[in-house]
Amino acid sequence: MKVKMITRMKMKPSFEIKRQEFIKAFFDNCRVLVDKGLSLLVPAETIEPIKLHQAIRWSLFAGGKRFRPALVLSVGFAFGANENQLLRTACALEMIHTYSLIHDDLPAMDDDDLRRGRETCHKKFDEATAILAGDVLQTLAFQSIAEDESLSFETRARLIGEIARASGTPGGMVAGQVHDLDAESKPITNDELERIHRKKTGALIRASARAGAIIGEANETELNLITQYAENLGLLFQITDDLLDVTATAEDLGKTPGKDAKAEKATYPLLYGFERAETMADEVYKATCDVLEKIDKDTEVLFAIAGFIRYRRS
């Protein structure tokens, strides 16, 4: 992939429409694959304790975009790994993501009733079940990788360490959630906002891309480039997420828009103004693509994912 970025940006309208169609088909394929994998990795609803497994599946199959699994798969494919080697790790990252959503939605945290257009886990079931469903999704995630016979033991251990650091503390998702809760209803600096997102959502996106590269046996240079790509992509994801909270409709989002502003949550449009946040999204998008130019693999899908994030509607 050596198409010059400047060309990409200029031909945006028609080129992007084609690419959005292409990437939507890719995401659809990923979703089917990942849903099938998840369904096999998580106990059936007929197995005791039934309520726990119902709650897990309620949140796991709530129509998520499967963005993190798609990233594992697309990066892994770029480095020559196959579906079979990538699937469990892709599913594990979705389990970690879903556990974090279930716990974030709890009354003691963000207290949300609606997620992906349906009742949150503790609303549909109860708080105790939601806490335990989140707990055990984390467990199942690590179990799925530890028992993945398509990977060497070394790769399994490396992936578990990588994903644990990204979802834990001090540099990972849970630490980011603590910073985020601390920041509510008080003014924060731009640096603090960036720290929240780098840990809360960025770290797991970064780990997803790196996991694909690790399974695909990328060399050190390639792994560094993929890491930069993923860090930019994570930032892009967050800025566009904040922008969507301002512009999107409830139907598009499957959750209440304007919620961040109402909760006085720090967002990019709030801290920088809407126009500047839009420009930042363009700049980060360009930086994301620039890194990909340096990777000598078929990165067409990775370009398309960046475009999809930049121009998404939900």
Residues forming contacts to a second copy in the complex (CB under 8 A) are: 43, 47-49, 51-53, 99, 103, 106, 108-109, 126-129, 131-132, 134-136, 138-140, 142-143, 146-147, 152-154, 156-158, 160-161, 164-165, 167-170, 172, 174-175, 177-179, 181-182
Nearer to a second copy, 5 or 106 (CB): 106
Nearer to a second copy, 52 or 305 (CB): 52
Nearer to a second copy, 11 or 44 (CB): 44
Residue 105 Cβ vs a second copy, minimum distance, rounded to whole Å: 11
Distance of CA 46 to the CA centre of its chain: 30
Nearer to a second copy, 167 or 232 (CB): 167
CA dihedral 271, 274, 278, 284 (to 10 degrees): 0
Nearer to a second copy, 43 or 257 (CB): 43
Residue 27 Cβ vs a second copy, minimum distance, rounded to whole Å: 28
**DSSP state for residue 298 in the 8-state scheme:** -
Nearer to a second copy, 124 or 286 (CB): 124
CB contact at 8 A, 206 and 166: yes
d(CA 296, CA 242): 33
Query: CB under 8 Å to 178, separation ≥6 — which residues?
Result: 169
Q: Enumerate long-range contacts of 183-191, CB under 8 Å, 24 or more apart.
A: 183/265, 183/266, 184/263, 184/264, 184/265, 185/263, 185/264, 188/266, 190/271, 190/272
CA dihedral 90, 91, 92, 96 (to 10 degrees): 110
Residue 299 Cβ vs a second copy, minimum distance, rounded to whole Å: 29
Element (H, E) at 248: none
Residue 311 Cβ vs a second copy, minimum distance, rounded to whole Å: 34
CB contact at 8 A, 171 and 196: no
Which of these, 131, 110, 147, 111, lies nearest to 59 by C-alpha position? 131
Query: CB under 8 Å to 105, separation ≥6 — which residues?
Result: 111, 112, 115, 120, 121, 122, 130
Residue 271 Cβ vs a second copy, minimum distance, rounded to whole Å: 20
Nearer to a second copy, 154 or 251 (CB): 154
Nearer to a second copy, 39 or 152 (CB): 152
Residue 104 Cβ vs a second copy, minimum distance, rounded to whole Å: 10
Residue 260 Cβ vs a second copy, minimum distance, rounded to whole Å: 18
d(CA 131, CA 125): 11
Residue 159 Cβ vs a second copy, minimum distance, rounded to whole Å: 8
